[in-house]
Structure 1
Amino acid sequence: MAHDVFISHSSEDKVVADAVTAAVEQAGFRCWIAPRDIRPGDSWGGSIIDAIGGSRVMVVIFSARSNDSKQVMREVERAVQLDVVVVPFRIEDVQPSRDMEYFLSATHWLDAMSPALDDHLNELVTTIGSILERPESETKTKNKKHKASPAAKAAARASKPSIMPKLIGGLLLLALVAGGGWYLAQPSGPEKAPQTIADKATSATPTTTSASPAATDTAVVVPSSGAVGDRKLELGAPQTVDAASAVTLTMNGDTLEKDYVVIAKRDANDSVTGGYKRIGSAATLDLNAPAVAGDYEVRYYDGETKKVIIRSALKVQVPSVTLAAADQATAGGNLSVEWTAPNYKGDYLTVALAADKPNAYANYSYTRNGSPTELRMPDEAGEYEIRYVPYGGKTVWANRPIKVLQPQTSATLDANQQAGAEVMVKWTGPANKGDFLTVANPDAPGKDYENYAYVRAGKDTKLKMPEIPGDFEVRYISGQKKLIWARSPVSIATPEVSVSAVAQAEAGATVKVDWQGPGNSRDLITVADPGSEAKQYRSYVYARPGTATTMQMPDIPGSYKIRYVSAQKKLLWAEHAITVTPRSETLTHPATVKAGERFEIGWQAAGGKGEWIGVFKPDTDNSKQLTYVYTQGKTRGRLAAPKEPGKYQLRYVSSKEKLTWATSELIVE
Structure 2
Amino acid sequence: MGRFGVLSLALAAAFMPSISAAEDVVVVYDGSGSMWGQIGGVSKVGIARQVMGDLIATWPEGANVGLIAYGRRRGSDCSDIETLIAPSPLDRPAFISAVNEVTPRGRTPLTEAVRQAAELLSYRDTQATVILISDGLETCQADPCAPSAELAQQGVNFTAHVVGFDLTEEEHAGLACIAESTGGVFVPAQYADELRDALAHVQTVVDLQPLSSPEPVTEAEPEPEPQIDADIDLEAPATVLTRSSFTVSWSSTIDGQDYVTIVPDGADEGTYTNYRRVRQDTDNSLIAPAESGLYEVRYVLNEGSRTLASAPVEVVEAEIAISAPEAVTTGASFSVSWSASVHPQDYVTIVPVGADEGTYTNYRRVRDDTENSLVAPAEPGLYEVRYVLNEGSRTLASTPVEVVEAETSISAPETVITGASFSVSWSASVHPQDYVTIVPAGADDGTYTGYRRVRDDTESSLVAPADPGLYEVRYVLNEGSRTLASTSIEVLEAEVILNGPDFARAQTPLRISWSVAIHPQDYITIVPAGADEGNYQDYIRVRDNLEGDLNAPAEPGLYEIRYVLQEGARTVASLMLEVVGADAPLDDGAGLVVPSQASPGETINVSWSGSADSADQRISLARADQADFSWIEAHRIGEQTTLELTMPDEPGPYEVRYLDIGGQTVLGRAIVEVE
The answer to whether the 8 A contact 2:562-2:571 is kept is yes
Please report how far the alpha carbon of residue 476 of structure 1 lies from its aligned counterpart in structure 2 after TM superposition.
1.0
Quick one: distance in 2 between partners of 1:527 and 1:95? 58
Quick one: distance in 1 between partners of 2:325 and 2:198? 58
Superposed, which structure 2 residues align to 1:176-215 within 5 Å?
Answer: none
Please report how far the alpha carbon of residue 341 of structure 1 lies from its aligned counterpart in structure 2 after TM superposition.
0.4
2:407 aligns to what SS in structure 1? coil
Unmatched 5+ residue regions in structure 2? 1-23, 31-43, 70-95, 119-127, 149-157, 220-226, 586-595, 602-619, 633-649, 656-670
- CA deviation profile, 1:189-212 (whole Å, cap 9, x unmatched): xxxxxxxxxxxxxxxxxxxxxxxx
* Corresponding residue of 1:607: 625
Please report how far the alpha carbon of residue 539 of structure 1 lies from its aligned counterpart in structure 2 after TM superposition.
3.8
TM-score, normalization: structure 2?
0.62
Q: Number of paired residues?
A: 514
Please report how far the alpha carbon of residue 436 of structure 1 lies from its aligned counterpart in structure 2 after TM superposition.
1.4
The answer to whether the 8 A contact 1:246-1:286 is kept is no
Superposed, which structure 2 residues align to 1:146-161 within 5 Å?
Answer: 155=210
Q: Out of 24, 32, 36, which is 2:67 matched to? A: 32
* Corresponding residue of 1:18: 53
Quick one: distance in 2 between partners of 1:353 and 1:41? 41
Quick one: distance in 1 between partners of 2:562 and 2:50? 65
Quick one: distance in 1 between partners of 2:279 and 2:550? 86
* Corresponding residue of 1:289: 287
| Cα distance, 1:311–1:546 mapped onto 2, change above 3 Å | closer
* Corresponding residue of 1:642: none
| Cα distance, 1:233–1:561 mapped onto 2, change above 3 Å | closer
Quick one: distance in 2 between partners of 1:292 and 1:249? 18
Quick one: distance in 2 between partners of 1:490 and 1:412? 10
1:365 aligns to what SS in structure 2? strand
Superposed, which structure 2 residues align to 1:273-284 within 5 Å?
Answer: 273=272, 275-277=274-276
| Cα distance, 1:530–1:17 mapped onto 2, change above 3 Å | closer
1:12 aligns to what SS in structure 2? helix
Quick one: distance in 1 between partners of 2:113 and 2:250? 45
Superposed, which structure 2 residues align to 1:367-378 within 5 Å?
Answer: 367-368=366-367, 370-378=369-377
* Corresponding residue of 1:446: 445
* Corresponding residue of 1:196: none
- CA deviation profile, 1:436-463 (whole Å, cap 9, x unmatched): 1111123433332333223254542222
Q: Which stretch shows the higher mean deviation, 521-530 or 535-544? A: 535-544
| Cα distance, 1:491–1:159 mapped onto 2, change above 3 Å | farther
Superposed, which structure 2 residues align to 1:327-476 within 5 Å?
Answer: 327-342=326-341, 344-354=343-353, 356=355, 360-368=359-367, 370-390=369-389, 394-476=393-475
* Corresponding residue of 2:169: 98
| Cα distance, 1:357–1:162 mapped onto 2, change above 3 Å | farther
* Corresponding residue of 2:244: 245
Quick one: distance in 2 between partners of 1:556 and 1:275? 76
Quick one: distance in 2 between partners of 1:109 and 1:469? 59
Please report how far the alpha carbon of residue 503 of structure 1 lies from its aligned counterpart in structure 2 after TM superposition.
3.6
Please report how far the alpha carbon of residue 334 of structure 1 lies from its aligned counterpart in structure 2 after TM superposition.
1.7
The answer to whether the 8 A contact 1:23-1:121 is kept is no
Superposed, which structure 2 residues align to 1:568-587 within 5 Å?
Answer: 568-583=567-582
* Corresponding residue of 1:127: 205
Superposed, which structure 2 residues align to 1:290-309 within 5 Å?
Answer: 290=288, 292-295=290-293, 296-309=295-308
1:4 aligns to 2:26 (yes or no): yes
Quick one: distance in 1 between partners of 2:313 and 2:354? 30
* RMSD between superposed Cα atoms in Å: 5.1
The answer to whether the 8 A contact 1:498-1:564 is kept is no
Quick one: distance in 2 between partners of 1:416 and 1:567? 19
The answer to whether the 8 A contact 1:79-1:86 is kept is no
1:446 aligns to what SS in structure 2? coil
Please report how far the alpha carbon of residue 400 of structure 1 lies from its aligned counterpart in structure 2 after TM superposition.
1.2
Please report how far the alpha carbon of residue 604 of structure 1 lies from its aligned counterpart in structure 2 after TM superposition.
1.8
2:622 aligns to what SS in structure 1? coil
| Cα distance, 1:328–1:47 mapped onto 2, change above 3 Å | closer
1:300 aligns to what SS in structure 2? strand
| Cα distance, 1:251–1:95 mapped onto 2, change above 3 Å | farther
Q: Name the aligned partner's letter for residue 239 of structure 2.
A: T
Quick one: distance in 2 between partners of 1:17 and 1:552? 60
Quick one: distance in 2 between partners of 1:159 and 1:48? 41
The answer to whether the 8 A contact 2:62-2:210 is kept is yes
Quick one: distance in 2 between partners of 1:462 and 1:263? 61
Unmatched 5+ residue regions in structure 1? 62-68, 130-151, 165-227, 592-601, 609-630, 637-648, 655-660
The answer to whether the 8 A contact 1:23-1:125 is kept is no
Please report how far the alpha carbon of residue 242 of structure 1 lies from its aligned counterpart in structure 2 after TM superposition.
1.0
2:206 aligns to what SS in structure 1? helix
Please report how far the alpha carbon of residue 96 of structure 1 lies from its aligned counterpart in structure 2 after TM superposition.
8.4
- CA deviation profile, 1:233-281 (whole Å, cap 9, x unmatched): 66554443112434445657x9745654311245865434464345678
Please report how far the alpha carbon of residue 121 of structure 1 lies from its aligned counterpart in structure 2 after TM superposition.
9.4
Quick one: distance in 1 between partners of 2:52 and 2:461? 58
| Cα distance, 1:128–1:48 mapped onto 2, change above 3 Å | farther
Q: Which stretch shows the higher mean deviation, 353-362 or 436-445? A: 353-362
| Cα distance, 1:86–1:299 mapped onto 2, change above 3 Å | farther
| Cα distance, 1:59–1:453 mapped onto 2, change above 3 Å | closer
1:336 aligns to what SS in structure 2? strand
* Corresponding residue of 1:52: 114
